[in-house]
Every structure is written in structure tokens, then in C-alpha cells.
Structure 1
């Protein structure tokens, strides 16, 4: 046998998981298929669900100038809730896509198509995650609880969107950026227009990063008839990505101005610097985008955690100036 320097993949590991992730190395073996079902071995999705929550919370605090201990719990609770609801959403997605995932090379190793988890077991896992997340939601105010319940609608619809529209990324954006509204309401007790603008800007950001992500599956999707913006735009994708970049940055700027307009000019400038840093990172991604390089696309997609984190320290500092 010819010797090889490659490290063998852990049994049951999913193809696009982060190499050496904590699930493969540290999680108890019986729990690993369920954690993989929740994408715990691919944490980027939790970040992309969580970051709009933190944007919304900090801008709400800037808007009314209040910061209390309950805001710290909202910050932490959104983190736990994002992990759980991203897991529940991914579980639902894999249940509905079980007949599609087996036909796509990147997803064929997922727990349901690979046989590691049955559909019944996946449903039980989904319910458990959702119930724990609901208990966290109950610690927020009634307006936020209502927002959380409404968020289930886009979550339930998203897995089916690629069957009936070329723009399933819009439905993903509706679901993944809902936290901007929920966290704002959890702090203020009411929904205000800067939160809505921030939400729409987040949807444009999702269109940006998930179009990049979808290019990995474009050929397989074409064979099985699954729709996406990557297939719709094709070689025109860079032009569309630039449009989404501009819209995401402009809308976040409008949200920041609406939230911080009553504060000092220095606070407004600092907060806007956060949005400009966010836009700079998206521009960096676009400058390195390559239609033919799947590994590059995955790297750029994952880098959106850093893009979404960039505004946060600026928003936080603006609270104190």
C-alpha cells in the first residue's frame, strides 16, 4: 500500500465541516450525528444568525441611550438561542431536503442521507432544540416573544423556496436577519423604523454571502433542478454581488443614522465607521471571488463572520462617547 500523508476523515464526518472541529474530536460518539445535523461542526451559520441580533441590540441601546443588566442577558440569550434555532432550522432543512441532499456531492454525507440519523430521530431532535430556545425566549418581553413566534414562518418556508423561486436566498435572509428585529424589540419593547431598515440591509448581506456559497453547488443544483441566485446570475454574479454590497452598507448606514441621530456627532461618526469597516470587508471578499474555485467560495462565505463582527466594537464604543 502506498503511504499517504493525508489524515483520514473521522467516521461520519460531513464533507464541508471545518477540519478538526470539536464535534469530531470531543463530542460523545452517540451525540455526534445530532450535532452534525445541527451544523455544530460548521459554526459559521450560528454566527450569521447571531450577528444581526447583536447589531439590533446595540443600535437600540444607542437609540434610547439606555443600557441595563437585562441587556447583558439579551446579549447572552441571543447567543444561546442562535445556536439552538440555527440547529433546529438546519434539522428542518435536512428533513425536507433528504431526497435532494443525497444527489449533491457536498451534502450526501449529511446525517440523514448517509443513514446516521432517521427522520423520526431528526424530528425529535428538532423539537428538543426548539423547546429549549422557546424557554429562553420566554425571558424576554411580550413583544419580543411575539416576534420570536412570527420568525418561525420564514424558517419553515425557506427549505422549500429553492423549489419555486430563483431567489431562495431572500427567504434565507428573511429568517437569518430576524434577530435584528427581535433584539431591538427585546430592549425597547416596540418595533421602530431603524430596526426595519437594519433588517432589510441584513437581507442584502445574506444575498451577498449566500450567493457566494451557492456557487459551490451550482452544477449539482442544475442537474437536479434546484434553483438559486448563483444559477440565476451565473457569470454575472460579481455585478450582482456588488449591488448587494452597496445596498447592505447603505441600508445599515441609514439604520445607524436613524438610531444615533439624537446622540453626539462623535458617536454617530464612530458608529458609521463600523458600517464602513463592514463594507470594506465585503469589498475585500468581492475582490477575491472566483467563479471556478469552490474552496475560495467556501473560505469567503465563512469570512462573513468577521465582516459581521466588525461593526460591533464601533457600535459599543459609540455608547460611551
Structure 2
């Protein structure tokens, strides 16, 4: 298998997706957000492994539902924006004085609908980025590269992702067997009768898996010191608080948006150091690890370029990044468009999955 016919490292795809999602989170310009969604669709169509399911479509449908729901709720309840272009007026329900800030019905303006659609489209674009990363590299592949500190958690998640679909197949098998015996398989009582054989099969499978994992050395005792555990725990708590504070600062500019990114970076570094401290005393071996080459590095850089440019554009208040609440098409910053287009380059220079080439 040549270098052009392999699966790319899953961490590279997820870092690319997070960079593109960061870019989408910093703007409400519909042209840029639609371009982000288009980049996700393009890269997935060109570099997805055809032997695996494509979850991107489900994320796109969910995003469309979110946009529609947000617009409908804005028409019914409003969003606090009183525009000048009134499209129509709904029958208004009178409310008591203590609910004066809430309205049901009333005039619906074009400005309020556009504001709701732009804000909901931002969430839809973020979901598209996550769906694209999920389609290009499944979370199960990514869990193989968790640090040794999170090894037990990763093993539990992999087992859960593996056995969850089997529960559905067991339920179908039991339901088919009961149908052959004359049961219609409908109603809550019939569903309750399916629970016992399905859970019994799941318990037997879990016991067999536990026995096989124990025979291969999983869950062995580690020689750890109290000082090392205490240091790793303190770093993990401080890092988590830094990440949460940084994310809150990025999402809410009223609390100091300029401090959000530095706090997030510091939190990530501290949390990563806690994982490094734990991994230094818990060595783990890997089997058939995916290689990391120049294509993975460039993929991460393209996502970082898109995210970095849009974060800088938001902090510097470029024209068109956050459109004004007016009934007009917002201007589109050319540099922001170029940064998002850079994130589409992995559709050409990354290696193709082997089955797609065949």
C-alpha cells in the first residue's frame, strides 16, 4: 500500500475539524458559514473511507432542523429585536404584567428573522464540522491514541461503542423470535418483555469480554506514588478550570473576550501536562499505529489557519464578521473567505483511503 492509499491519522482530521469549528463560531456572516459547510461536504466526499457510514448527512439535517426551529420560535416569541421591515403580524396573546418582557405573537420583522437565522446557522456550521471529522475519522479510531492516563476510560468507551449496536440487533432477533410464536411485538408490555432476554445476552457478552481482557493483562495494578497522583490531580483540575474559563470568555465577549483564547491555551497546556505526568508512570504499547507524515501536519495547519484568521477578525471587529441587524446582505471579508478555502485543501493533498482507490 503506497503513501497515497492509506487512512490518515484520526487526530489530524479531528484537529482540522476543531479549527474549522472555531472559525465558524466567531462569525454570523451567512456567506462564510455556508462556505464552511461546503468545505466540510467537499472534504468528506473526497476523503471519506467508503467502507464506513457517513454521519455528516445526519449532522446537516440536524443543523437544518435547528435553523428552522429557531426561525419559527422567533416568529412566535420574538427575540428582542424590533426591526423596521415588518413582514406580517401574528395574533398576540395578552399576558400579565409580570410577564411584560415576554410576548406571544405580534409583529414579525425581517431583521429579527435574519438575526435568528444567522445565529442558528452558526450552530449548524459547527455541527457540520463535527460531523465531517466524525465521517473522516471515527471516534473509535481516535480513542486508540488517548494518553495512558485515560486508557481505562478509552477502553470503556470503545467497548460501549462496540456493543451498543449489538443491543439493537439482539432486540430485533428476540422480537422476530417472539413474532414467530404469535406475539405481535407492539405495546409497552411487549417492549418490557424484550428487556430480559436482551439484557441477559448483554451480560453474557460482557462477562466473556471481561474474561478475555483479563487473560490479556488488562486492568493490571500500577505502582504509583501519592505525590504523583496528587500532582496529576491538581494539574487536571486547574487545567479543566482554565479550559472552561477560556471557552466562556470566547463565547461571551461581555466578560472579556480577549482573555478567552489565552485562558483556553493555558488550560489546555496545564491539562496536557497532567496527562503527561500520569503517562510517565504508566507505559502502554500500541499495535499498528497510524503514521504521522507531512500530510497530517498540513491538514492541522489548514484548520488552524481558518480558526486563527476568524478569531483575529472577530477580535479586530472586521466589517461583515458580525453583520449589523439590518435587512440587507452583509459584506463578506475576502481574507476570511480565503482562510476558509484554505481548509478545503486537504481534499486534494491528503492520501485516499485504499478502498476508494480500488
Q: Same fold (TM over 0.5)?
A: no
Provide the TM-score with structure 2 as the length reference. Answer: 0.33
Asked which structure has the greater CA Rg, the reply is: 2
Structure with the largest fraction of helix: 1
